[in-house]
Amino acid sequence: MTEEKKPEERKKRRTATEAASKIGPMVKATIGGTVQAREEGKPIAYSFICCCYDEIIRAMDIIPVWTENYAGVCGAKRDAQRFLERAESENFSRSLCTYALCGLGFDAWREELGEMPPEAPWGGQARPDMMLGSGQILCDPRNKWYQAAQHYMPDVPVYDVGLPWPAYEHDYDYRQVQDYYVKYIVEQLRGLVEFLEKQIGRKMDWDRLSELVELADRTWNLIYEAYELRRAVPTPMGTGDAMNTMVPMVFMMGTQEGYDFYKDLYDELKRKIANKEGVIADEKYRLIWGGGLPSWFALADFNYFNSKGAVFPVETTYRMVEAIYNFDIDLSKVTDPLEHIAWRWVKYWTYWYDKARKRPGSHPDVERLIQYIEDYKIDGIVMHEAFSCRSWHVGLIWQLNLLKKVYKDMPSLILESDIVDISSYNEADTRARIDAFIDTLEAVKSKQR
């Protein structure tokens, strides 16, 4: 690579918690571990986050390569453009999911070379033995990405797991349909297990799976409890750090390492609260990151908010757990591990439905915002619209409009950029918009005084 083509070096972002600062090395070690696992002949699976199969692959000693994570790493290191351009040269539109484009560009390049592309970030993305997609009611790339990747790796099989959840409807309650949803998901997961057994030539250890499911339940509860500590004033941890601490939640679920990470985080947050140690000493504005994945190449914008006296005690993004004990079902009594996973999935996605029914005209997505706004004493809302992702970035405007209608008008800001494609980002413009938003917050605060 020529000197001028090298990605722009970034200074390490300052984190508020020790836990968040550990994440970079953890991810680097994990990615390096997958490359080594490949060399050692261990079974490797391309995997997506939030697909219900975390404990299943862990129980079978299959090494996950989290492809969204690798694209995010390339983005954070500002070294994704060459992979995006490679995908574009393969006739993939630049308007598609840039996680997928980065991954497909990388795969096309690696397969052509027969080795990792030059100076691949953190050693590169290991070639998989299998790819595990999913069909949900969000994220088309989850069933298109790996299918498209077979164009470059026709020998690598794909299994696509159907993982629907009931929509929030006015014409029926989700409990009327939940049983057949769970039954379907169990059948899909059973099919996945059979597929994996065939691929690796080993049978599932069902007792081990049950243990990992139970460990994941405990981890869910622990994450919920740790994150709830962030209600404190001053808040001990912001969304900038949460974009790091999400890593064990979505990439290490069902592992002791993941559980231990949150135990440490919980203890650290308790300690900080006892010492009244906040993200910043003088909180002026408490904000919610109310939707959208972050621009991985611009996480320092959270520090910029901090420099203006703004903190983010809470976010909806990557808060992919609820307390198991708050569900309306006693999951400890669901002993079949696949059925257990299926119920947890359905109950997670329908968690806010009942609450929404109680407020005329409301919706679960908005109800969740309202709950967080009240619990975390929020002054304003920030969202991010990433142009390449329709899964998480459609409905943000509508949510803000509905929030105003059923609850109250609040200062809000929708930033516009992308998750990986840095060409969509302008730091000066972004910060000018943040400045203007801070002015609005200040004006509202002044009126309240």
Q: Rule CB under 8 A: choose which of 1, 113, 137, 432 binds other proteins.
A: 137
Q: Is 135 among the residues that bind other proteins (CB under 8 A)?
A: yes
* Window 386-405: residues binding other proteins (CB under 8 A): 386-391, 393-398, 401-402
Structure token digits, residue 415: 């930033």
Q: Is 144 among the residues that bind other proteins (CB under 8 A)?
A: yes
Q: How far is the CB of 150 from other proteins (least distance, A)?
A: 6
Structure token digits, residue 49: 């986050």
Q: Rule CB under 8 A: choose which of 24, 33, 164, 234 binds other proteins.
A: 164
Q: Is 293 among the residues that bind other proteins (CB under 8 A)?
A: no
Beta bridge partners of 64: 45
Residue number, 12 or 170, with CB nearest to other proteins: 170
Task: Please calculate the CA angle 280-282-284 and round it to the nearest 5 degrees.
Answer: 105
Q: Is 170 among the residues that bind other proteins (CB under 8 A)?
A: yes
Q: Is 63 among the residues that bind other proteins (CB under 8 A)?
A: no
Q: How many CB atoms lie within 10 A of CB 271?
A: 12
Q: How far is the CB of 171 from other proteins (least distance, A)?
A: 4
Distance of alpha carbon 267 from alpha carbon 79, whole angstroms: 35
Q: How far is the CB of 179 from other proteins (least distance, A)?
A: 9
Backbone angles phi, psi at 150, to 5 degrees: -65, -20
Q: Is 21 among the residues that bind other proteins (CB under 8 A)?
A: no
Q: Rule CB under 8 A: choose which of 123, 157, 234, 309 binds other proteins.
A: 157
Distance of alpha carbon 179 from alpha carbon 365, whole angstroms: 23
Q: Is 325 among the residues that bind other proteins (CB under 8 A)?
A: no
Q: Is 128 among the residues that bind other proteins (CB under 8 A)?
A: no
x/- track of binding to other proteins for residues 78-117 (CB under 8 A): ------------xxxx-xxx--x-----------------
Q: Is 353 among the residues that bind other proteins (CB under 8 A)?
A: no
Whether the CB-CB separation of 399 and 384 falls below 8 Å is answered with no
The residues binding other proteins (CB under 8 A) are: 90-93, 95-97, 100, 133, 135, 137-141, 143-145, 147-148, 150-151, 154-155, 157-158, 160-162, 164, 166-172, 176-177, 180-181, 183-184, 187-188, 191, 361, 363, 365, 385-391, 393-398, 401-402
